[in-house]
């Protein structure tokens, strides 16, 4: 959907997205669904006829952000009583009508598995709060995306939900059980994206590598096979996927990293901790050593692969020794970058009732771990200097003639490229590393 100044009657929709890439994808689908109702997107909240907050429940801070943002909407709603305010996403799922009780200015609450019903809710033809886990597939009920041109890199959700029940995590409760979308739908959506200008697709799922489905041949397909089928689409230059779970890294997927040139040498593989005791308490169902051996096998298949991860620091019961085990694992692997979080107790999860460790201790550990990860990130970026890498240009930079894109390893690369167009995949020689990006020059 695009802004359309020539249609003054159109209503304006402002969407704010919190949380993971799956929410980014969902916001896009909700915008398309509301587009069929005559809404166009606006970047300016003050102009909106409807404000939709697509929320995240993963940590307490993320959930509380919703309430502070809702508080800030009070004056806008007071001056514009017809303004509709909707809350979507994982807080909507977790808290339901509690949101309206706490913030009566909210008109609609819709969960992540029911947002195909949003248009009916806005029309007043469905309840104000819809947070069930329906049997029907929401994707079957969403309007087909309009044939508008798309940016060169796109997300495509192939799997939703989680059955793993890590002791700290709300996702199994907010997104429900693991469901894989059918092969044919995924391939159709991918072909449609490519026809609309997309050259890079990132497959999304809370456990994306757990995806499986029945192929047209009636045989069971695993995730590696899906990647091979996507690689056959003409014009699709790059395939990525996130987030994967170590226990779902099957041999065929590892081999795809060796065999499929379109599959980028980049893997986000959260481990959370390097201590077997803590991994067990977290219900991760693998040991540190199993993770390390898995990394060895992946690197054997694709030696230049860039690995990234997630860590939780200060999980209940974590000792200095456990923390050192985590630092040791990080040193062993050498990550290109990583996200690390202080443990946040989430109501309804098994770890919620467990005694927390001292905040100052957890903070100190987090700082130490982040310092190590920052050093590794810097080293990984500096190892790119002097190399010529392919960059998919996604937008102009701030400086005239400059373009920004992503390398195969997902680094942001800035380059002087006045002739380049958005969607060009060009060779760039890297000359400099900045804190969160690289700078390069177009190679001849
Ligand atoms: N499905 C993905 C992760 C989804 S949540 C996976 O299993 O890897 C993204 C990250 O948020 C997690 O990897 C974890 O590091 C972090 N996270 C989840 N729950 C958390 C909590 N209660 N406190 C702190 N961090 C948390
Ligand atoms: Fe959460 Fe664990 Fe599922 Fe990831 S695998 S979404 S961390 S329960
Ligand atoms: Fe957050 Fe829900 Fe994603 S809790 S991380 S938006 S799945």
Give mean pLDDT, residues 4-25: 84
Q: Point out the ligand 3 atom lying closest to the alpha carbon of residue 55.
A: 6
- In the chain, the percentage of residues whose pLDDT exceeds 90 is 91
CA 166 to ligand 2 centroid distance, Å: 5
Do 225 and 306 lie in one domain? The reply is no
pLDDT > 80? residue 3? no
- Cβ atoms of 285 and 305 closer than 8 Å: no
Indicate whether 132 and 152 sit together in one domain.
no
pLDDT confidence tier of residue 218, bands split at 50, 70 and 90: confident
Beta bridge partners of 86: 52, 108
Domain carrying residue 378: 265-382
Contact 251, 216 (CB under 8 A): no
Query: What residues have CB less than 8 Å from 261, skipping those under 6 apart?
Result: 231
CB distance 168 to 186 below 8 Å? no
Rounded mean pLDDT, 228-252: 97
- How far is the centre of ligand 3, averaged over its atoms, from the C-alpha of 132 (Å)? 17
Residue 141 pLDDT class (50, 70, 90 cuts): confident
Q: Are residues 15 and 72 in the same domain?
A: yes
Instruction: Tell me the per-residue pLDDT of 336-390, one tens digit each, with 9 for 90 and over.
Output: 999 999 999 999 999 999 999 999 999 999 999 999 999 999 999 999 999 999 9
Same domain (yes/no): 254, 282: no
Instruction: Please indicate whether residue 57, judged by its CB atom, sits closer than 6 Å to ligand 1.
Output: no
pLDDT in tens, 89-109: 999 999 999 999 999 999 999
**Is 3 within the bounds of a domain?**
no
In a shared domain, residues 92 and 48: yes
Of ligand 1's atoms, which has the minimum distance to the CA of residue 340?
15
Determine whether the shortest distance from the Cβ of 89 to ligand 3 is under 6 A.
yes
Domain count, the chain: 4
Residue 2 falls inside a structural domain: no
Q: How confident is the model over 255-265, as pLDDT tens digits?
A: 999 999 999 99
Give the pLDDT score at 53: 98
CATH number at residue 95: 3.40.50.12160
318 falls within a domain: yes
Cα of 267 from ligand 1 centre, angstroms:
16
Ligand 3, atom 6, residue with closest C-alpha: 56
* pTM greater than 0.75: yes
Token digits of residue 271:
């481990």
Q: Report the binding-site residues for [4Fe-4S] cluster.
A: 20, 56, 90, 162, 166, 169
Q: Cα separation of 107 and 51, whole Å?
A: 10
Q: Which atom of ligand 1 is nearest to the CA of 339?
A: 15
Domain with 213 in it: what CATH number? 3.30.750.210
CA 99 – ligand 3 centroid, Å = 17
Q: pLDDT tens-digit profile of 286-333?
A: 999 999 999 999 999 999 999 999 999 999 999 999 999 999 999 999
pLDDT at 136 over 90: no
Residue 156 sits in the same domain as residue 177: yes
pLDDT at residue 214, rounded to an integer: 86
* Per-residue confidence (pLDDT) for residue 110, from 0 to 100: 97
Which amino acid residue places its CA nearest to atom 7 of ligand 1? 245
Select from 19, 25, 60, 159 the residue to mutate for testing ligand 3; criterion: most ligand atoms less than 8 Å from CB: 19
Asked whether 392 and 199 are in contact (CB, 8 A), the reply is yes
* Residue 8: band (very low, low, confident or very high) from pLDDT cuts 50, 70, 90: low
């Amino acid at each position: 959907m695009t802004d359309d100044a020539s249609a003054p009657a159109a209503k304006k929709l402002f969407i704010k997205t919190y949380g993971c890439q799956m929410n980014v994808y969902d916001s896009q689908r909700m915008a398309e669904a509301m587009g069929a109702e005559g809404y166009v997107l606006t970047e300016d909240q003050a102009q909106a006829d409807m404000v939709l907050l697509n929320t995240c429940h993963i940590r307490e801070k993320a959930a509380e952000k919703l309430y502070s943002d809702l508080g800030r909407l009070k004056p806008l709603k007071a001056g514009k009583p017809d303004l509709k305010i909707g809350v979507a996403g994982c807080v909507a799922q977790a808290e339901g009508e509690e949101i309206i009780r706490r913030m009566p200015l909210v008109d609609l609450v819709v969960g992540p598995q029911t947002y195909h019903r949003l248009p009916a809710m806005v029309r007043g033809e469905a309840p104000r709060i819809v947070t069930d886990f329906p049997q029907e597939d929401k994707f079957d009920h969403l309007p087909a995306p309009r044939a508008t041109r798309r940016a060169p890199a796109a997300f495509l959700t192939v799997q939703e939900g989680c059955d793993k029940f890590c002791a700290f995590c709300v996702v199994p409760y907010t997104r429900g059980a693991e469901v894989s979308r059918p092969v044919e739908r995924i391939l159709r959506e991918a072909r449609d994206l490519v026809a609309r200008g997309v050259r890079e697709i990132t497959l999304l799922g809370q456990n994306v590598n757990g995806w499986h489905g029945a192929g047209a041949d009636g045989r069971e397909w695993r995730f590696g096979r899906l990647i091979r089928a996507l690689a056959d689409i003409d014009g699709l230059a790059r395939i990525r996927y996130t987030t994967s779970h170590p226990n779902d890294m099957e041999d065929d997927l590892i081999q795809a990293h060796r065999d499929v040139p379109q599959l980028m040498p980049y893997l986000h593989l959260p481990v959370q901790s390097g201590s077997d005791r803590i991994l067990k308490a977290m219900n991760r169902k693998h040991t540190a050593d199993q993770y390390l051996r898995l990394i060895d096998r992946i690197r054997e298949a694709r030696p230049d692969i860039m690995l990234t991860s997630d860590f939780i620091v200060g999980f209940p019961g974590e000792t200095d020794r456990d923390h050192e085990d985590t630092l040791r694992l990080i040193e062993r692997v050498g990550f290109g970058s990583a996200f690390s979080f202080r443990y946040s107790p989430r109501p309804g999860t098994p770890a919620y009732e467990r005694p927390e460790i001292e905040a100052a201790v957890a903070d100190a550990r987090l700082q130490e771990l982040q310092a190590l990860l920052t050093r590794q990130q810097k080293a990984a970026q500096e190892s790119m200097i002097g190399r010529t890498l392919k960059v998919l240009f996604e937008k102009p930079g701030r400086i005239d003639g400059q373009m920004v894109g992503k390398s195969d390893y997902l680094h942001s690369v800035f380059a002087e490229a006045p002739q380049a167009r958005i969607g060009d995949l060009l060779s760039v020689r890297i000359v400099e590393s900045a804190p969160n990006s690289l700078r390069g020059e177009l190679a001849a």
